[in-house]
Structure 1
Amino acid sequence: MSITRKMILGYIILIFIPVLGFGYHYYTQTYGNLTRQFVESRQKILEQAYANMKSDFIRIQSVQRLLQYNPYVTDYLDGVYQTDADSVYALIRYIRPLYTQSLFANPEIESIVIYKMKNRVLPVTDLFRDQSLLNAQIEEKVEHLKPGKGLWIREEPEAAKPDLIYYQHIYNTQFTERIGLLEIRIRNSLIGNFYAAAGVEGNWHAFLLSPDGRPLNEGEAASALDEQTLHRLGQDDSAFFINRKSIVNGINIDELNVRVVVAGRAGEVFYSIKQRELILVTLIVLLLVGLSVAYYAMASTITKRILRLARFMRTLNNDNLRQHIIKPDKLDEKDEIGFLTATYNSMVQRVDELINNAHRAELRNKEAAYMVLQAQIKPHFLYNTLETIRMVAESNNDREAADISFWFGKLMRYSLSSKQDVTTLERELEMITFYLKIHKMRLQARLTYEIDVSVEAKHIACPRFILQPIVENSIVHGASAVLRPVHVRLQVEETPEEIRIRIEDNGPGIALDKLLAIQNQITNGSELRSEGEESRGIGIYNVSERIKSFFRGTSRLNLESRQGEGTCVTIIIDKGEAKNESIDRG
C-alpha cells in the first residue's frame, strides 16, 4: 500500500469516522435530552391542568352542599309545605335565587335539576321533576351512592369533549331519608378549558382511553396516531413516553374513570428544531468534506515528492548512482523533504566515491600483493649472502667477521621473517643480546653491558621490538654521545603481582625540560615539541602504547633520568593480564 493511501486510510480511521461517530452520538444525546425535557415539561402542564379541573369539579360539587344545607330546599323536597301557595312562595322567595346564584357562580353549569322522590311535592318543570322522568340506567347507577358521594357521567362516552352530568342525592335534615336526586349538567367547555390548559392545540390531539387502555373513539385516534403508539398505549400505563414518531402525555381522571392522552407527531412538533439541526449537520458534513479534500491535497503535495524519490531510489544499483534531479524552482526549498533529497544526493555521491575508492584500493592491494611476492625473494637472498660471508670468514679464521655475520643474520631473520607481531620475552632478550654484541664489537671498551634475567622468559608472551628501541636509545644517546665508557644493564625480575624489565645506563642523561616533555607524552599522549629529543620520545612513546595495549591492566612504562648520571626505563607488566601462550618461533 502506497504512503498516500496509508495517509488517507489513517485520516478516515483516526479522524473522519471518530468525528462523525462523536457528532452522531452528541446529536442523539442532545436530541434525546431535549425531547425528554420537553415531554416532562408538557407532563407538568397536563398535571397542572388536571389540578385546575379538579378544583372546578369540587366547586361544582359544592352546589349540592349548598342545596343540602338550605332548609327551604329540604323542606320543599320533604313536603313540609301543606299548600301549593306556600310551596310557590318558598320557591320564588328562597329557592330560585339560590339556583340563579349557583348558575352565575359556575358558568360551566348548563342546568340544575332535582328529581323529587315524594308525590306531595309540587313539581316545577325547570327546577323540580318527578323521579319517574329519570333514565332507568342512571337510576340504577346512582342507587348505591352513599351520603356525601356523587357520580360523574359522560353524556356522550365516545366524544373527545363530552358533556358531563353530576348526580348526588339530597337527604332530609336528619339524613335518614333520600328526598331528591340532584342533576347538574355541565357544558363541554369544562373539558375544553382543560384541553386548552394542557396545550391541546395545533398539532396536538387529545383522546380518552378506557381503564383497559382502549381508545373510546378508535377512528379519531387511528387517524392521529400510528399503530406502534396505539399498541403501546394499550400495554404501557406510564405517564409519558416518546418514540420516533409520536410524543405522548397521559393522566388518569378518576372522577370520569378515563385516561386522557395528549399526543403529537414528533416530526411536526420538532419541525423547526429538526430544520436547524439538518442545516447544522449539513454544514458540518460539508466542512468535513472540505477539510478532507484540503488534507488530501496537502498530503499529495508531500507524498508525491517522497514517491518520486522512492521510485528513483529503486532504480539505483552499482552501475547507476546518479543524483536525484530536482526542478530548478524547487532547489531553494528548505523543508524536510528538500533536506532529505539533498542529504540523499550527498549520500549517493559519497557512496559513489567510496565504491571508486574501494575499486582503487582493490587494485592497489593486488599490486601490493604482487610487490610482496617479488619482495619475498630479497630476504632469502640476504640470508644466503650473510651465511656465505660467515662461512668464508670461518674458513679464513676470521672469528669476529663470522660472529657479526651470524648475529646480524639472526637479527634480520627475526625482523623480516616472522608472520605475527607477538613473540616471547626469551626471544626478545636473545635478539637484544645479538644487538648489544654487534654494538660491543663496534664500540669496544666504550660499551659494556649486563643482562640479568630471573624469570621464566620463555613462558611470557610480549610484542616484538619492545626492548630494542630502548636499548638503542641507551647506545645512541648514551655510549655514542660521550667519550667515557658507558655501561648498559638489563634486568628482568618478578613479584607476586608484576614483572619488571629495567634498562638503565650511566650515560649523559636527559635535560629536565626534555625529560618532562617525554614523560608528559608517555602519560597523556601529548605531542612532543622538542626537536632534539623527538626520535627518543617517539620511540619510547610507541613502546609505552604497545605495552598498554598488549598487556592492559596496570601495565605501563616509566622513564627516569638525571642529567650527567644516566637514564632508567622500567617496563612494568601486570601479571594478572600477561599473556602466557605458545608463540610461533619461526
Structure 2
Amino acid sequence: MPGRARSQMKSLLRSTIWQWMKGTADRLGGCSLQVKLIVAYIGVILIPVVLFSLYTFHQLYENTMQDITVQNQYVLDTELAHIHSNMEIMERTAQLAISDRNVLRYLTEEREISSDELVQFNLNVFPNLQHLLYSNPNVENIRLYTSNPQAHEIWPMIFNESRLPKASWLKTAQLRQGKIWWEMYKGPKSLLLGQSRQESETVQYMALLREIQSTGGRHAGLVETNMRLELFSPRVFGIPQRDRAWQMFILDGDDSSSRNADKPMSSTDIATASSQSDSISIPLSHVHHLFQSQVQGPGGAFDFSYENKPYLGMYRYIEGLDAYLLNVVALDGPLGDLRQKRNAMLLIISMLILFMSVISYTLHAFILKQLHTLRESMKKVEQEGDFQLRIPVYGRGEVAELALYFRSLLSRINGLIAEAVHKQAAAQEAELLALKHQIDSHFLYNTLENLKMMAEIERQYPLSDALTSLGSMMRYNLQWSGSCVALRDEIRHIQHYVAIMNIRHDNQIGLEIHLSSAFMELEMLKMSLQPVVENAIKHGWSALQSPFSITIEACPKQDIIELRIQDNGVGISEERRNAIMAGLARTEMDSHEPGMNGGIGLYNVHRRLSMQYGEEYGIRLDSIPGQSTTVTLILPKRYMMRGADHDDQAVDCG
C-alpha cells in the first residue's frame, strides 16, 4: 500500500475521532440523564459499528490496492519480458548477420570485386541475409553500412555509410569498438533514392548499432537491426486503449531524458508522442522529475498525486538500454468506487443512528417518568420542608424502590424530629434536676465546712484535715467539666484520698511523688489514678506489713510517657498477673471470672485510655511476688497548659 496515502488516512482518522470525542464530552456535561442514557445507548452500538466499518473499509482498501498492484505489476513484467525478448532477437540477428566470413570479406576487402564474385555473392550469400530478415518478422530492417568504397550497395541490406543520418550518437556508436549501442530515433522507411513515398514516410525505430571491424581492428562499417517502436514495446508505443487506467513510459536511467542534445528526438519525446491515455494526462516533465526523485534500485513502487488525483508508479530497470520501464496507474477510479461504498455505508449508519435516537428517546421518557416524579418530590421537600409529602409509586422497578425508600426516609425523619423534640424536653428537665443537685451539693459543702470549723474549735485537727480532704474529693468528683485534666489535679486528688485512708489505717500509708514540674501539666483522664491506688491499698497491703508505701514517678520514651504507680506490698503471682493482663486485652470484662478479683478497676482505666488515645495506650502490670507490684499507665506526651514540647527533666526509670 502506498505509504503517503496510508499516513494521510491515519492522521485524518485520528484527528476526526479526537475532535468528535472532545466535542461530545463538552456537550454532554450539562445534559439531562435521559439524554446521557440515549447517547450512551447509541454509543454502545455506534462505536462497534464504526470500528467494524473502519476495519472493513481498511481491509477493502488494502485488498483493492493489493489487487491493483498485482495486476499492474503483471502488466509491467509482461511488457518488460517482451522488450527483453525483442532485444535478444535483435542482438542475435545482428550477430548472425556479421558472423558470415563471406559477408565480412565483401564489406572489408578493399579491392574491386569482379562480376562473377558479385553474382556468386548475390546467389549464395545474400539470400542467407534475406532469410535471416524474413525469419524474424518483428525485425524491420537489417542494414549493413560499409566504409569500403569498393563494396557495392545491395538493397535493402547493404549501404554505404554516407546514407547514415548526420547525428552525434552515430559517431559514439562507431567508437564503441564492437560493443552494442541502443538508440530510439525517427528515420525514413527506405534509404534508396527514388523511393519517393518511402523516403517521405518516417518511422519510429528502436535500433541496435554495432561497429564492423576489419582485420587489424580498423573501422569497416556498422550493422543496424531496427524494430518499429510499436512492435518493440506495444504497451508503451502502441495505440492506447481509451478505457485503460494506466500509462507506460520508457525513461533514460541517467539524470537527463536524452543522451545527446543533437539527437533529433529523444526517447522521452517518443514516449510522449506514442503513449497518450485518456485516463492519465500527466506532463512527461513532471513524471520524469518525480521518477528521478523516487527511483531506488532496479525496481520498486511509489505513490504520488497530481491535480488532487492519486496515482501509483511502478518501475523496472531495462538491462542493455540503461533505461527504466515505468507504469503509472490512475487510482481515482478504483478508489472512487471505494469512496462511494464508504459514503453509502456512512449514510446507512447515520439513518440508523437517527432511528435509534427517536426510539431511545421515547423508551427512556417512559422508563424515567417515575424518576422525574421522584426528583420533583425531592425538590419540593428541599424547598418547602414538607416532610409529610406522599410520593406516588408506579410499578416495581428500581426507581419504584427508590421512591419507597425515600418515602420511608421521610417517615424516619418525621420520627427523628419528634424524638429530638422529646429529647430536648428531657434535656431541659435534666438541666433543672442538675440545678437541684447543684443546690444540694452546695448544702453538703456548707455542712462539711461547718463541721470543719467545729472540729478546729474543739481542737480536733486530724478530723478537720479529714473533712477538708473529703470536701476537696467531693468537689473534684462532682465538678466534671471534661474528661481530661492535668496530672497535677489527679495527684492532688490522690493525696486527699490517701489522707482519708490514713485516718482509718492510723497513718500507715505513705505516698511518694517523684515528678518534675513539667510532668505536672501532663494530660490525664480524670479519675484514672484513684482505681490504681485503691487496688494497691486494698489488695497489695497485708495487715502484717507496716508501713505501706506507694511511689508515683514518670519516665518519658520518645512520643509516650510511662506513669508508674509502685507499691511495696505482697505482690501477685505470675498466674494471676497473666489472667489480669488477658482480661485487659478483652473487649468486655466479666467481674466473676476466676483469678480476676481486683481487676475490674484496672480494666475500666485501661479501656478508657485505649478508647481516648488509641489501642497502643493503656495499662501494663508487673509484679515481684512478696516484694512489689507496679502498674504502668502508658500515655501520649500531651500537655494541658503548654502547646510546645517541654524540656523534661531526666528521671531515673530504673
Range into which the TM-score falls when normalised by the shorter chain:
0.5 to 0.7
User: In 2, Cα distance between the equivalents of 1:19 and 1:407?
Assistant: 92
Match of 1:102 in 2: 132
User: In 1, Cα distance between the equivalents of 2:632 and 2:169?
Assistant: 132
User: In 2, Cα distance between the equivalents of 1:396 and 1:256?
Assistant: 147
Q: What secondary structure is seen at the aligned counterpart in 1 of 2:269?
A: coil
* Matching residue within 396, 400, 425 for 1:329: 396
Q: Which moved more, 1:212-221 or 1:92-101?
A: 212-221
Change (3 A) 1:296 1:53: farther
Determine whether 1:154 maps to 2:186.
Answer: yes
Verify the 8 A CA contact 1:108 1:187 in the aligned structure 2. Answer: yes
* Matching residue within 376, 388, 405 for 2:438: 376
The TM-score normalised by the length of structure 2 is 0.55
Q: Where do 1:32-111 residues align within 5 Å?
A: 42-62=75-95, 64-65=97-98, 69-70=102-103, 79-82=112-115, 86=116, 90=120, 93-95=123-125, 97-109=127-139
User: In 1, Cα distance between the equivalents of 2:346 and 2:422?
Assistant: 66
> Where do 5+ consecutive residues of structure 1 fail to align?
441-446, 480-484, 563-567
User: In 1, Cα distance between the equivalents of 2:167 and 2:529?
Assistant: 140
Verify the 8 A CA contact 2:579 2:595 in the aligned structure 1. Answer: no
Match of 2:262 in 1: none
Shift of 1:367: 3.5
Q: What secondary structure is seen at the aligned counterpart in 1 of 2:589?
A: coil
Q: Where do 1:20-39 residues align within 5 Å?
A: none
Match of 2:269 in 1: 215
Q: Where do 1:108-119 residues align within 5 Å?
A: 108-109=138-139
How many percent identity over aligned positions?
14
Q: What secondary structure is seen at the aligned counterpart in 2 of 1:379?
A: helix
Q: Where do 1:393-472 residues align within 5 Å?
A: 412-417=474-479, 419=481, 422=485, 423-434=489-500, 437=503, 450-455=508-513, 463-464=526-527, 466-467=529-530
* Matching residue within 231, 241, 265 for 1:192: 231
> Where do 5+ consecutive residues of structure 2 fail to align?
1-28, 190-199, 252-256, 259-265, 296-300, 556-562, 642-654
Verify the 8 A CA contact 2:391 2:407 in the aligned structure 1. Answer: yes
The TM-score normalised by the length of structure 1 is 0.60
User: In 1, Cα distance between the equivalents of 2:575 and 2:144?
Assistant: 147
Q: What secondary structure is seen at the aligned counterpart in 2 of 1:329?
A: coil
Determine whether 1:493 maps to 2:564.
Answer: no
Change (3 A) 1:531 1:105: closer
Verify the 8 A CA contact 1:73 1:95 in the aligned structure 2. Answer: no
Shift of 1:378: 1.9
User: In 1, Cα distance between the equivalents of 2:105 and 2:595?
Assistant: 154
Shift of 1:199: 10
User: In 1, Cα distance between the equivalents of 2:421 and 2:472?
Assistant: 40
Match of 2:427 in 1: 365
Q: Which moved more, 1:488-497 or 1:300-309?
A: 300-309
Shift of 1:233: 2.9
Verify the 8 A CA contact 2:146 2:222 in the aligned structure 1. Answer: yes
Q: How many residues in Structure 1 have an aligned counterpart in Structure 2?
A: 545
User: In 1, Cα distance between the equivalents of 2:316 and 2:640?
Assistant: 108
User: In 2, Cα distance between the equivalents of 1:123 and 1:407?
Assistant: 159
User: In 1, Cα distance between the equivalents of 2:476 and 2:217?
Assistant: 152
Residues 353-407 of structure 1 show CA distances to partners (whole Å, capped at 9, x for unaligned) of 7666556544443443333233322222333455567778999999999999888
Determine whether 1:224 maps to 2:278.
Answer: yes
Residue type of the alignment partner of 2:230: I
Shift of 1:426: 3.9
Shift of 1:55: 0.9
Verify the 8 A CA contact 2:390 2:407 in the aligned structure 1. Answer: yes
Q: Which moved more, 1:44-53 or 1:202-211?
A: 202-211
User: In 1, Cα distance between the equivalents of 2:639 and 2:108?
Assistant: 147
Residue type of the alignment partner of 2:113: V
Determine whether 1:572 maps to 2:604.
Answer: no
* Matching residue within 527, 530, 533 for 2:592: 530
Change (3 A) 1:348 1:90: farther
Match of 1:444 in 2: none
Verify the 8 A CA contact 2:143 2:156 in the aligned structure 1. Answer: yes
Residue type of the alignment partner of 1:330: G
Change (3 A) 1:503 1:387: farther
User: In 2, Cα distance between the equivalents of 1:448 and 1:382?
Assistant: 26
Determine whether 1:233 maps to 2:299.
Answer: no
User: In 2, Cα distance between the equivalents of 1:138 and 1:579?
Assistant: 119
Residue type of the alignment partner of 1:154: K
Change (3 A) 1:341 1:199: farther
Residues 516-574 of structure 1 show CA distances to partners (whole Å, capped at 9, x for unaligned) of 97786457565325399999764564356568889997855679999xxxxx9956356
Change (3 A) 1:387 1:103: closer
Residues 276-330 of structure 1 show CA distances to partners (whole Å, capped at 9, x for unaligned) of 6864786589679969998999999799799868887666649366798774231
Verify the 8 A CA contact 1:142 1:167 in the aligned structure 2. Answer: no
Residues 424-456 of structure 1 show CA distances to partners (whole Å, capped at 9, x for unaligned) of 43443334544664xx5xxxxxx7662323447
User: In 1, Cα distance between the equivalents of 2:238 and 2:427?
Assistant: 105
Residues 216-272 of structure 1 show CA distances to partners (whole Å, capped at 9, x for unaligned) of 48677666365544341353454675434545566798999998765553345xx3x
Verify the 8 A CA contact 2:212 2:222 in the aligned structure 1. Answer: yes
Q: What secondary structure is seen at the aligned counterpart in 2 of 1:428?
A: helix
User: In 2, Cα distance between the equivalents of 1:200 and 1:32?
Assistant: 27
Instruction: Look at both structures and tell me which one has the larger radius of gyration over its CA atoms.
Output: 1
Change (3 A) 1:358 1:199: farther
Residue type of the alignment partner of 1:265: A
Residues 487-533 of structure 1 show CA distances to partners (whole Å, capped at 9, x for unaligned) of 9975333578675464979xxx99x9999977864575653253999
Residue type of the alignment partner of 2:397: K
User: In 2, Cα distance between the equivalents of 1:115 and 1:515?
Assistant: 134
Residue type of the alignment partner of 1:65: I
Verify the 8 A CA contact 1:68 1:171 in the aligned structure 2. Answer: no
Q: What secondary structure is seen at the aligned counterpart in 1 of 2:551?
A: strand
